[in-house]
Structure 1
């Protein structure tokens, strides 16, 4: 690491972080991380793993753009009080992040199912890439076998990782004992070291030392020489996140036996590139390992298929290109967000003052909406903001949830009641957007936030509307609002982007007040809502 950072003109600022939750040590680590970030002043903070995400995320809030790389869900691996602690820690780490990069689609899906992350806040880029490992020289492999006491044809189950209970080592040892009943000459090769301070450390050590056929290579600087010794690799952890060791093993052509976690679905295709087994089930683990050892042709077939799968989906070049593009996107967002600081100051002052003055009336209005239109009172929708970055926009609801006999929602025109029309005509439904303005998702003045699905429909000029934060009101709103055609709206938006100034914003705010009082340009003729944008068609 020191050599790499020296070549890249980067710096290392070490911050010790304990793996397990420890309040005293974690507070100390948080302080050290905060000081490190203050010293380094990063534009983007990328934190990974649960504890780094928690500590680095909290400290990284000051850096404005913390990115949390979600490698796994530890809360699903541990039950009871410890599991609840992990769940809270995951939620805090995720809440601190501007975006969450999930290392695999399956992990993203599981995080969404658990309600940990809104869909719009996640992106899948991949955390690493892997190249095919070069074949080892036969004499080196033979030397390695001799040093470990392994004969050339001896079947070997391989494991790479921490020798700890959380890694499923007890289940692996018990499964290996069952394997030995049918494959007496099988060996279990453990590449890794004990975690002396981990829960159950004494039990793990005793199981390993008292089980014949277990060979421990210890902690090694390079794992690659050990892959040629293995027949199959086992990953018995209930949860470990996205395993780079599994990628490397697959890149060497080894079949994998993995517990059926969310992350496994992106590493192993059950029946094609390896085997799934239930977590915490030594019998199922033993059965899969026995199949791999007694049917070398099938194991070889799955290993070759796994190699092809990994090379297709986890090439380093593809992963690095995705990360580079994403960082460029974030840097662009940060650059645009720091322009016109006086505008941001005005947004904070006006939105904060508005919430203080209108807080109680808004609560009363919310109660009335709840009574007349039902709940939830707030309408939430993901909209594209500055640089197209998604955010959740808040508005008061203006429609009921009335459904027809078939269970489908009735048309908008039917569900938009007289009270809902009043909220829209007076723009009272827009008041919750003051929260978006205070948070920095929106501005008092700017192009109105449209739908995410419109983004690919913009031409190059129209896309420039995202060079500024979307607004509570804008130049298009004071020049016709929803009575304008889409082309006219975009032209007004572009004029604002190209001519924006503090004086223009004040002018638009005053014009907006007049428009609201006169209830001008609320909707297109005959429409309960504005017509949908279908793209600009060349004439």
Structure 2
């Protein structure tokens, strides 16, 4: 499988889904190429050894990388940040079209603008993509205060919804992210939870060094280490408040190591309060943090008490687990559940200094062997569920599924759909209006049948068809069986496929194609196997391989098999053969059933008489 990684940040910049990710995909036998920008993160300055140019090809440890120009910036200016994100998106969109077509693209988010090159590749070269979400935009932008203008937040939300609709698959790092996306209308089957791993090659814990421990003040204390960014989201005043409550305890000590906008203020506050049990160490690169983790007795994770963070698993959690030290987790929701499931430490309510102080005292009172058990449990859980190899293996499966149905023919297929449907509506516009009037007089109003159906990647849409049944009811006011309401005129509409003609509107809207698997009822989705779900890898069609192979008399399981076969063999030649055979089937009225079987099998009757074993033929 040929995979294109689209990410604004890549080595030598600090990034999680970077070179390790690419090399592990290569180890699994895949061909990988990277599309990224010139390195400037996090300082906003171009790295030494690089100069901005239109394109730069390089190979990093066997991984081919194409770098494209961008506006280097990463400060507090919203305008400059937007230029940074936007310039990469435009450059990558252009460069992606010049690359050899991949089977599938992997897209790392944030920023949201990285969706642009993915959408361009999808529209112009038919490349399916998997969207890996690390931050929920616009939720994160609002929660962190990066953006406050509601109009802009709404625009970002609309953009994200468009990206989600077009993505063949979506990866999220926690169950809470998945639930949030489902609430926004993203089909559940499109979303896969794959927790982040940590840069395993950088977490190296040296043997304990008594002299070094004494030098850094670790000797004779119970050292709780916070390592990482100290910003507003971390709400680390809680740590200072807890330290204040622990003044009388001789052993607990907080060690704060890292950088961030809050470091200076926190240091000044600790000095002003005379907190001798809080020490700040200068920021270190990840490759040198192992020494501090090795000396720690417990490792602290903390975020402010915000609903958004209940669905977040801070990246340092995995590093702490791999380090094999007990964890103090001050984050609600998914992160707390992870630590509890692993048996790797204690959880406490965020921004609750008393709860943190109590948890520190509880850990400090445990014997060394019990602390070691907690650390080993976390380490074991990491290797079983969160490791690089496990995560990349699952990503490879998602990418493999997403690649099915992707072909360079798709953009041309879409062009044909638009051209032919426009021509058909132009020629048939007046006759269709006349037919609509006849339908209203003979079958009633409304003339159109509308129903939610799953489109490409399972995304719901409203299908349009001419109605073919009356609204006749019995004495009790209940609709009569479908066979009673299907009049000879309605049967003629179905056998001639005239009832399908309003589907041309769905084609123009990009929801359907002329040829493709028929869109069935939404409630059927829960019955599909993974193999059968592949029928949704392409746009559904008005006609398809199943429709020319037996129509209503074809066993349902066989219809699904033919739909998957169509997706796997998609080509212009396949579509032309299906269209030619469709003409013959329609004019011969071949394999069109009447009566109760129509209520169960025909598309209009879906969902009104489905028995339990219908999908078990």
From 259, 268, 282, the counterpart of 1:206: 268
CA RMSD of aligned residues (A): 4.7
Q: Does 1:456 align with 2:529?
A: yes
Match of 2:3 in 1: none
Aligned pairs for 1:32-431 (under 5 A) are 32-41=88-97, 43=102, 44-50=104-110, 52=111, 54-64=112-122, 65-73=128-136, 75=139, 78=143, 82=148, 89=156, 92-97=159-164, 98=167, 99-112=169-182, 114-115=183-184, 117-128=186-197, 135-139=205-209, 142-151=210-219, 153-178=220-245, 180-195=246-261, 203-210=265-272, 211-221=275-285, 222=287, 223-238=289-304, 241-265=312-336, 267-269=338-340, 272-296=343-367, 299-334=371-406, 337-339=407-409, 342-351=412-421, 378-382=450-454, 389-396=457-464, 413=481, 422=490, 425=494
Check whether the contact 1:348–1:438 (CA below 8 A) recurs between aligned residues. Answer: yes
Check whether the contact 2:328–2:359 (CA below 8 A) recurs between aligned residues. Answer: yes
Q: Does 1:29 align with 2:85?
A: yes
Q: Deviations over 1:395-420 (max 9, x none)?
A: 259899xxxxxxxxx9994799669x
Aligned residues: 498
Match of 1:534 in 2: 615
Unaligned runs of 5+ in 2: 1-10, 14-18, 20-58, 123-127, 471-477, 602-609
| Whole-angstrom distance in 1 between the partners of 2:360 and 2:243 | 8
Residue 295 of structure 1: how far off its partner (Å): 2.8
Check whether the contact 2:223–2:253 (CA below 8 A) recurs between aligned residues. Answer: yes
From the superposition, tell whether residues 340 and 291 of structure 1 become closer, same or farther in structure 2 (CA, over 3 Å).
closer
* Secondary structure, aligned partner of 1:329: helix
| Whole-angstrom distance in 1 between the partners of 2:264 and 2:499 | 62
From the superposition, tell whether residues 155 and 358 of structure 1 become closer, same or farther in structure 2 (CA, over 3 Å).
farther
Check whether the contact 2:267–2:280 (CA below 8 A) recurs between aligned residues. Answer: no
When you count helix as a share of all residues, which structure comes out higher?
1
* Secondary structure, aligned partner of 1:183: coil
| Whole-angstrom distance in 1 between the partners of 2:410 and 2:105 | 23
Check whether the contact 1:257–1:274 (CA below 8 A) recurs between aligned residues. Answer: yes
From the superposition, tell whether residues 510 and 23 of structure 1 become closer, same or farther in structure 2 (CA, over 3 Å).
farther
| Whole-angstrom distance in 2 between the partners of 1:318 and 1:345 | 40
Check whether the contact 2:171–2:193 (CA below 8 A) recurs between aligned residues. Answer: yes
* Secondary structure, aligned partner of 1:162: coil
| Whole-angstrom distance in 1 between the partners of 2:365 and 2:551 | 73
From the superposition, tell whether residues 535 and 378 of structure 1 become closer, same or farther in structure 2 (CA, over 3 Å).
same
From the superposition, tell whether residues 487 and 320 of structure 1 become closer, same or farther in structure 2 (CA, over 3 Å).
closer
| Whole-angstrom distance in 2 between the partners of 1:506 and 1:110 | 41
Match of 2:7 in 1: none
Q: Deviations over 1:147-178 (max 9, x none)?
A: 42322x31111112211111222222222322
Check whether the contact 1:164–1:194 (CA below 8 A) recurs between aligned residues. Answer: yes
Residue 37 of structure 1: how far off its partner (Å): 3.6
Q: Deviations over 1:209-256 (max 9, x none)?
A: 544332222221122221112122221113664333211211222222
* Secondary structure, aligned partner of 2:409: coil
Check whether the contact 2:92–2:117 (CA below 8 A) recurs between aligned residues. Answer: no
| Whole-angstrom distance in 2 between the partners of 1:232 and 1:38 | 48
* Secondary structure, aligned partner of 2:328: strand
Residue 264 of structure 1: how far off its partner (Å): 0.4
Check whether the contact 2:330–2:348 (CA below 8 A) recurs between aligned residues. Answer: yes
Check whether the contact 1:443–1:472 (CA below 8 A) recurs between aligned residues. Answer: yes
User: Structure 2 length as normaliser, TM-score?
Assistant: 0.66
Residue 268 of structure 1: how far off its partner (Å): 1.1
Match of 1:405 in 2: none
Check whether the contact 2:176–2:334 (CA below 8 A) recurs between aligned residues. Answer: yes
* Secondary structure, aligned partner of 2:417: helix
| Whole-angstrom distance in 2 between the partners of 1:209 and 1:230 | 23
